[in-house]
A = this chain, B = another copy of it.
């Protein structure tokens, strides 16, 4: 297990995280399709609930959001994602749970969050979905910087 003190920002965990949760830039529809088709081998699954977050071109004080640049505290985010996963598997009867979040620049219209939950019966996947997305927004240390046309920016505030 990792050390609980003296942890430096930017350890080997980073690699691991980039593979498993964080994706550089936008999440492509091809990536989503591949994730879906991989589950056809798991024939006990009856339902998939997928949540996708898409970057909106909100207009703020007359300026249109062109993109959001996401950054994170990766080691802490990793622990939090793990905690959210474990709680979900404990509370709901799930077959699979995959979470992917963008890091770096994601243009408006592109996908920055992909939560993919599978279960035997639909109720589990669907109820887990709302709770997991809520927890990701509230508890995971990720920050979005809204980039405007002239490369001005402001830090996003989750409503």
Chain A interface (Cβ < 8 Å from any Cβ of B): 29-30, 32-34, 36-37, 39-57, 108-111, 118, 120-122, 126, 129-130, 133, 159
Contacts and interface: CB of A to CB of B under 8 A. Distances in A.
A104 B30 CA distance: 26
Contacts of A126: 51, 129-130, 133
B109 A42 contact: yes
Contacts of A37: 29
Copies of this chain assembled into the complex: 2
Contacts of A50: 48-52
Interface centre among A36, A39, A42, A44 (most CB of B within 10 A): A36
Contact of A36 (B32, B48, B49): B32
Contacts of A41: 109
A5 B29 CA distance: 44
Contact of A43 (B46, B48, B56, B118): B56
